[in-house]
Structure 1
């Protein structure tokens, strides 16, 4: 039997989820599963931006199309796609895919 002078790792807890800071902070080291019947209070639910955290990133407005030709409609549609990609809502094009 080997006696260790210094404990290996954090031996103050024996589970992945625990209360810290006198109970003011809940640390989740495992999986947090939120059931359909659960409610969450105090969670920010506004739009996200590059400066502010939120649950949904709001992209810049895309004006309604006034296109009268297929070429103009294609241009309007591509502008919308680019806004979605810039916002991270849609994955960017892979290099060499165009």
Structure 2
């Protein structure tokens, strides 16, 4: 029996990461061909009304889409 934390099951259909996955600056992470990256920081909302909150929320959505973390349909 093996005690490795990271392994690919026989056949290659499933890889298990039980340890740390470190992606270097040269490395890439993609989902369904779309590159993923950390999202740009969204500042805490200081909205005083619903319209301001909607603006802040839409800014967050745009940043998640730009990072590849949410599909743009």
* TM-score using structure 2 length: 0.58
The alignment's C-alpha RMSD in Å is: 3.1
- Where do residues 13-92 of structure 1 align in structure 2 (5 Å cutoff)? 31-32=11-12, 33-35=14-16, 45-46=22-23, 52-55=26-29, 57-92=37-72
Unpaired segments of 5 or more residues in structure 1? 1-29
Higher percent of residues as strand: 2
Count of matched residue positions in the alignment of Structure 1 and Structure 2:
57
Give the greater-gyration-radius structure (CA). Answer: 1
Q: Identify which of structures 1 and 2 has the higher relative contact order when contacts are C-alpha pairs closer than 8 Å and 6+ apart.
A: 2
Unpaired segments of 5 or more residues in structure 2? 1-9, 30-35
